[in-house]
């Protein structure tokens, strides 16, 4: 079976598994959110300050909140079948429009954080494995333990105090400089300055995990017979490390990246709040406070879809790393 056929088989199998999973996620999230007290009409009426019983009834009728739960679920599934995520009572706008306006920021934050975590984790893990049992390994092991055990929001607050307040090197929040009319490279540099602190904050926890995992996997692979054979054939040590040891050690790492993608989304919500980053996490938090279940369901659905896509990408990557995987 050639590589293209194997990739197609993996993608097709995952797609058939994803469809019932997505449906179960939608139904489960819908009923769980319905267990929360209050609704969008209560919040809107409370903000108005002078709402009457008739006003509440009118608001619930306008947004379909007065219908039975099963009828609301059927209406929501019907909207999904037509490519709509519903309408937001809080923002008075389509949910799809709200999510698409925040999605690029969340993808930028997560992509930057995940790239930093993978690169730093592999490099640190390779250094720890190369000097296993020596002082570089011990120092980096302590550092990994500190990064793993320190809460992300605390690291974010310390980073703001140090790099924004005292040193003034990086902005403390937002995604762009307010009021600055920037274009081209200047705009990209400004966005990079804003995303650096939240991305590093989000990546620290995963750097610790990937470093320890890479170290353990490389030490395990180094004891395999094919590595000793490669050394016996006279191959350069760097080539043996990169082409044989590191490539095989990446298998458990890629599996863990797929598993952690959902955790990364959850961490992004906290990081976005600390750094006032306008992403899906902030949108979901605001939707919870406003009891805007349409927006919250849309964010949860899209987050689940992103996790599934990430796991498909991991499966394809593993099939490329190991031809035995089908």
User: Where in the chain are the domains?
Assistant: 102-321
DSSP classification of residue 166: I
Strands (E), the chain: 87-88, 93-94
Separation of alpha carbons 142 and 148, rounded Å: 10
Asked if 122 contacts 210 with a C-beta cutoff of 8 angstroms, the reply is yes
CATH level 2 (architecture), domain 102-321: Orthogonal Bundle (1.10)
Q: Which long-range contacts (CB under 8 A, 24 or more apart) does 61-70 make?
A: 62/89, 63/87, 63/89, 65/39, 65/40, 65/41, 69/31, 69/34
How buried is 313 (Cβ within 10 angstroms: 0-12 exposed, 13-18 middle, 19+ buried)? middle
Does residue 142 have a pLDDT over 80?
A: yes
Does residue 299 have a pLDDT over 80?
A: yes
- Which of the residue ranges 53-57, 166-170, 171-175, 231-235 has the most confident prediction, judged by mean pLDDT? 166-170
Does residue 61 have a pLDDT over 70?
A: yes
Nearest alpha carbon to residue 240 among 134, 126, 121, 119: 126
- Which of the residue ranges 4-13, 66-75, 149-158 has the most confident prediction, judged by mean pLDDT? 149-158
pTM for this model (two decimals): 0.76
């Amino acid at each position: 079976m050639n590589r293209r056929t194997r990739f197609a088989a993996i993608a097709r199998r995952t797609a058939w598994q994803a469809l019932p999973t997505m449906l179960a996620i939608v139904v489960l999230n819908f009923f769980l959110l319905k267990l929360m007290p209050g609704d969008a009409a209560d919040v809107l009426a409370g903000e108005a300050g002078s709402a009457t019983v008739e006003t509440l009834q009118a608001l619930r009728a306008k947004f379909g909140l007065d219908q039975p739960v099963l009828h609301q679920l059927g209406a929501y599934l019907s909207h999904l079948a037509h490519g709509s995520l519903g309408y937001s009572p809080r923002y008075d706008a389509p949910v799809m429009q709200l999510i698409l306006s925040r999605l690029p920021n969340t993808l930028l934050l997560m992509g930057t954080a995940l790239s930093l975590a993978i690169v730093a984790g592999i490099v640190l893990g390779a250094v720890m494995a190369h000097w296993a049992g020596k002082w570089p390994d011990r120092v980096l092991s302590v550092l990994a333990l500190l990064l793993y055990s320190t809460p992300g929001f605390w690291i974010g607050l310390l980073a703001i105090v140090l790099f924004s307040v005292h040193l003034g090197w990086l902005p403390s929040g937002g995604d762009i400089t307010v009021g600055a009319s920037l274009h081209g490279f200047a705009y990209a540099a400004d966005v990079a300055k804003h995303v650096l602190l939240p991305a590093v904050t989000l990546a620290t926890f995963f750097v610790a995990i990937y470093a320890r995992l890479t170290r353990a996997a490389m030490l395990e692979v180094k004891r395999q017979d094919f590595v000793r054979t490669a050394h016996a054939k006279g191959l350069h040590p760097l080539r043996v490390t990169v082409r044989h040891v590191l490539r095989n050690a990446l298998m458990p790492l890629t599996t863990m990246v797929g598993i952690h993608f959902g955790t990364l989304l959850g961490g992004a919500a906290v990081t976005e709040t600390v750094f006032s980053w306008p992403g899906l996490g902030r949108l979901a938090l605001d939707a919870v406070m406003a009891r805007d279940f349409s927006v919250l369901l849309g964010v949860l659905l899209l987050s689940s879809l992103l996790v599934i896509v990430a796991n498909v990408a991991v499966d394809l990557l593993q099939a490329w790393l190991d031809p035995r995987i089908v």
